[in-house]
Amino acid sequence: METSRVQAFNTLQIWFHKHIIHFMVLFILSGLPILSHAFDWIAYVFGVPVSFFGQQQPYEAIVAGGVQTARVLHRVAALLFFLTAIPFSLGQLMHVREWHIWPERYSLSGAWDGVRELIRCYVFFQPPRFGKYNIGQKALAWFMILAMLLLSLSGFVLWFRDSFSPAIWSFSRFVHDTVFLLTALALIVHVYLGTHPINRESLRAMFGNGEMDLEFIRHHHPLWYEKLIKKGGQTT
């Protein structure tokens, strides 16, 4: 390759990743007051600006208004996320065979090797044999795809609950709440590992121009480096 820089992420990937952060923050802040009374203080924060335009109200009334405001914000965020996800999904599907979230080897031994390389990297700080993404990042990617589908389907039922039976609505609420909590925990882990010194080069690429240093890739992502050499060019 003639260049020492590789296009690791394209413009669409960078655009979507930045916006999904905004949506996830809004989803979490608006979803927690709906999920449990333990987060009434967040509902109160939402309710104060709304109550400002009416008569003085007690705490409980402000919280109730804040929960309704949270529901509106949650639905608006869901609609905007859906509209944002459409061009991203179409763009990704056009290159589905080139996704780097497929396993290097479709076997239990291959999965174990991926876990072992993960331990070598993050526990013993030894150079791993990663592809563009390690097994943890691949698992997160597939989890997020499944989670977004489940949240979208269950959210649709909750939004139009009058069109469904109580049993379906109740089950959808359980699915939505459970997947929501699991997604929030997964994102916390993702943010921590994403800012880990080992991943700083990828972090700068995702929030920059999408380029990574080829020499860094050779040392930290050797399986990906080998694919790049065979292609003889850049990748997205």
pLDDT band, residue 151 (cuts 50/70/90): very high
Long-range contacts of 26-32 (CB under 8 A, 24+ apart): 26/73, 26/74, 26/77, 27/74, 27/77, 27/78, 27/81, 27/180, 28/184, 29/70, 29/73, 30/70, 30/71, 30/73, 30/74, 30/77, 31/70, 31/74, 31/180
Classify residue 234 by its DSSP letter.
-
2 closest CA partner among 229, 167, 203 = 229
Question: Distance between CA 184 and CA 87 in Å, rounded?
Answer: 24
Q: 174-207: per-residue pLDDT in tens?
A: 999 999 999 999 999 999 888 888 888 999 999 9
State the average pLDDT over residues 19-37. 92
Q: pLDDT by residue (tens digit) across 156-167?
A: 999 998 899 999
- Domain residues for 59? 5-231
On the question of pLDDT at 236 being above 50, the answer is: no
| Confidence label for 55 from pLDDT (cuts 50, 70 and 90) | low
pLDDT at residue 71 in the model: 93
Of 80, 78, 91, the residue nearest 34 (C-alpha): 78
CATH code of the domain covering residue 109: 1.20.950.20
| 52 pLDDT more than 70 | yes
Least confidently predicted of 76-90, 115-129, 130-144? 115-129
Long-range interactions of 188-197: CB distance < 8 A, separation 24+: 190/140, 193/122, 193/136, 196/122
Average pLDDT, whole number, for the chain? Answer: 88
Q: Is residue 169 part of a domain?
A: yes
Whether residue 236 is contained in a domain is answered as no
CA distance 188 to 190: 5
Closest CA to 205 of 115, 132, 122: 132
CA 222 from centre of chain:
25
Measured between alpha carbons, how far is 214 from 235 in angstroms, rounded to an integer? Answer: 11
pLDDT > 60? residue 118: yes
* CA geometry: angle 101, 106, 94, nearest 5 deg: 35
Residue 100 domain-assigned (yes or no): yes
| pLDDT tops 90 at residue 50 | no
3-state secondary structure of 123: coil
pLDDT digits (tens, 9 = 90+) for 2-18: 458 898 999 999 999 99
Structural domain contains residue 206 = yes
Q: What is the mean pLDDT of residues 103-113?
A: 78
Q: Does the structure show a pLDDT above 50 at 79?
A: yes
Query: Is residue 105 situated within a structural domain?
Result: yes
* Average pLDDT score over residue span 112-131: 86
Q: Report the percent of the chain where pLDDT is more than 90.
A: 52
List the Cα angle 98/12/27 in 5-degree steps.
110
Residue 170 inside a domain? The answer is: yes
Q: Is the residue at 143 inside a domain?
A: yes
Instruction: Report pTM.
Output: 0.84
Instruction: Please give the average per-residue pLDDT across 145-166, as a whole number.
Output: 93
Long-range interactions of 210-215: CB distance < 8 A, separation 24+: 210/7, 210/8, 210/9, 210/10, 210/11, 210/13, 210/14, 210/236, 211/5, 211/6, 211/7, 211/8, 212/5, 212/6, 212/8, 213/4, 213/5, 213/6, 214/1, 214/3, 214/4, 214/5, 214/6, 215/4
User: What is the count of structural domains for the chain?
Assistant: 1
Q: Distance (Å, rounded) from C-alpha 147 to C-alpha 192?
A: 20
The pLDDT assigned to 54 comes to 63
Could you tell me the pLDDT band of residue 56, with boundaries at 50, 70 and 90? low
